[in-house]
Amino acid sequence: MDRRSIHINTLRTCARSTLDRLELQNLEIGVPAGRNRRCELRKRRATGEMRVQKSSTVSRQPIVFLLLSAALFFSIVVVSIQSFFFTGRKSHLNMEGIAILSDFQSRVQQCVARRGLGLTADIIDHCRLVLKFPEGTNSTWYNSQFKIFEPLEYQYDVCEAILLWEQYRNMTTVLTREYLDVRPDGWLDYAAKRIAQLGAEKCYNHSLCEEHLGLILPSKPPFHPRQFRTCAVIGNSGDLLKTEFGQEIDEHDAVFRDNEAPVNEKYAKHVGLKRDFRLVVRGAARNMVAILNGSCADEVLIIKSVTHRDFNKMIESIPNPVYLFQGIVLRRGAKGTGMKSVELALSTCDIVDIYGFTVDPGYTEWTRYFSAPRKGHNPLQGRAFYQLLECLGVIRIHSPMRSDRKLDWSDVPSRDIIKRAHAAALHLKKIQAKGQTSDLGPFSNCKVWGTAGKDGAGPISGSPSMSYTRRKSNYSKWELLPFESLRREAQEHYFQMEGVSLYKMDGNRLDDLVCVKHDSVRF
């Protein structure tokens, strides 16, 4: 269309619009015309305006739609790029962590094959494996509760085990006053569970519970992580008589013993003479005076489960410190007091050597180096579990059943390898948490927080009525220990943990902790 045609059409449009307005005005001022004509013109005008508006709206809709589509497309591209890089990085980290854990599993498998005395490890995936006893193993131990004989296979989650036992090295395993003060209903509910024959389900009478626990309740932890470099945990197995471990045992910084196991010249060449800690069940605690007879006043007695009102008179009469153990329940692990002694040692020692824990598969009674055999716990389950702990670098097993007595631990994963596996397992746990927590540091499992008194609020264990012997006992050696007297590694650990003591809450895991902050380094 040329310029002339455009100009003519424009003039026609303007003329038509002008005529319409004039005609409408004439109609409105009384110019003779029919009512229908007026309505028709108004309708035509309105229709024309709507047509113009509709045309404008229709012309704008594609533009708006295109803009929205472009914005949406751009957003999708950006999100896709971010997701690609994030997922790629996450996938890379996952694959790297799985590779580290798979390599660690292979090392554990090789360790079990070399040190397991016939045990083998079958790998299921990067976390799970099965320890198997060889075919033909004489499984004669009968579980009267479940009416079955012991199985020959035991499945473990190595990732969970690494996290559990590395965390255990930071734990406090003695019941303290600060724990009961900080834990919700600590005195009312939990304290009652640690007192036998209290006469009530809860400590409604606080003074009564204080009377029962006061003698054995330190204000703060008397022992500390990394306090000792090497520790020996001595079981009671009869295999101790097959080898003379005595001197080797006594060379450790601290020695842990169980129940009424004797320490004297008769057995000195087999079990040594050093006495530092003794973990006892309630039945053995009734004989604490006889058990501690002949020991120096430094030997610490730790009761495994509960105290009893009858114990107080005995405790007042001896110079030895007495405490209550604060451990976990290992339903799939080894049973007995020996395992609790291992837990206690791990919370204070860098290296834990165990003696007197291995026996021949298939035996039906516990053999003891100092008395006749008696009924005990599942031997195959215990042996498999201890072997797993050794190949995880948690403990070192010493046994006359191993022909090579050279202290060669090269087939056990090193601390650096264990740390890498621990970091990988921790990262895997973070991914599995699906955003529930982003902090998986040493305090990530702290469910309850509290603060200890600046001056160690509360007296050291004891009561005003205790005997002179008791008042001059060795409680102060542990509970008033100057910070500067700790070994360097223990001091460094204290600062790394920011002066926080970790306690287990309940159950057989360390997922929920009571964490108590200390404002100073004064013990």
Q: pLDDT digit of tens for each residue in the chain (523 aa)? A: 554 444 444 444 544 544 444 344 444 444 444 445 444 545 555 455 444 444 454 455 567 667 677 667 666 655 555 544 444 444 555 788 899 999 999 999 999 999 988 899 999 999 999 999 988 887 777 767 667 888 899 999 999 999 999 999 999 999 999 999 999 999 999 999 999 988 899 999 999 999 899 889 988 999 999 999 999 999 988 889 988 999 999 999 999 999 999 999 999 999 999 999 999 998 899 999 898 887 777 899 999 999 998 898 888 888 889 999 998 877 667 778 889 999 999 999 999 999 998 765 555 556 777 776 666 666 788 889 999 999 999 999 998 877 666 667 888 999 999 999 999 998 888 887 665 545 667 888 899 999 987 654 455 565 555 556 656 667 777 887 888 999 999 999 999 999 999 999 876 667 789 999 997 665 5
Q: Which residue in 217, 213, 229, 179 sits closest to 504, CA to CA?
A: 179
Cβ burial, residue 375 (10 Å; 0-12/13-18/19+): exposed
Residues with Cβ within 8 Å of residue 201, at least 6 apart in sequence: 192
Return the SS3 of 325: strand
Return the SS3 of 123: strand
- What is the pLDDT at residue 359? 61
| Beta strand segments in 41-175, E | 120-123, 128-132, 142-143, 148-149, 153-157
- Which CATH number, 3.30.413.10, 1.10.1040.10, 3.40.50.300, 3.90.1480.20, labels domain 164-405+441-517? 3.90.1480.20
- What is the pLDDT at residue 18? 45
- What is the pLDDT at residue 77? 56
d(CA 502, CA 490): 15
**How large is the C-alpha radius of gyration of the chain?**
39
- What is the pLDDT at residue 40? 53
- What is the pLDDT at residue 369? 77
Are 217 and 176 contacting, i.e. CB atoms less than 8 angstroms apart?
yes
Are 367 and 237 contacting, i.e. CB atoms less than 8 angstroms apart?
yes
Per 3-state DSSP, the chain is made up of helix, strand and coil in percentages (nearest 5) of 45, 15, 40
Are 278 and 258 contacting, i.e. CB atoms less than 8 angstroms apart?
yes
Q: Which residue in 411, 353, 381 sits closest to 113, CA to CA?
A: 411
Phi/psi of residue 451, nearest 5 degrees: -125, 130
Residues with Cβ within 8 Å of residue 484, at least 6 apart in sequence: 491
What is the value of pTM for the model shown? 0.78
- What is the pLDDT at residue 98? 92
C-alpha dihedral (330, 331, 337, 342), degrees to nearest 10: -30
- What is the pLDDT at residue 128? 96
Angle at which helices 158-168 and 35-115 cross, to 10°: 80
Angle at which helices 379-391 and 35-115 cross, to 10°: 100
What tokens appear for 129 in the block?
């494996």
- What is the pLDDT at residue 464? 57
d(CA 78, CA 84): 10
Q: Amino acid identity of 326? A: Q
Q: Which residues in 47-79 are b (16+ Cβ under 10 Å) and which e?
A: eeeeeeeeeeeeeeeeeeeeeeeeeeeeeeeee
Are 334 and 387 contacting, i.e. CB atoms less than 8 angstroms apart?
no
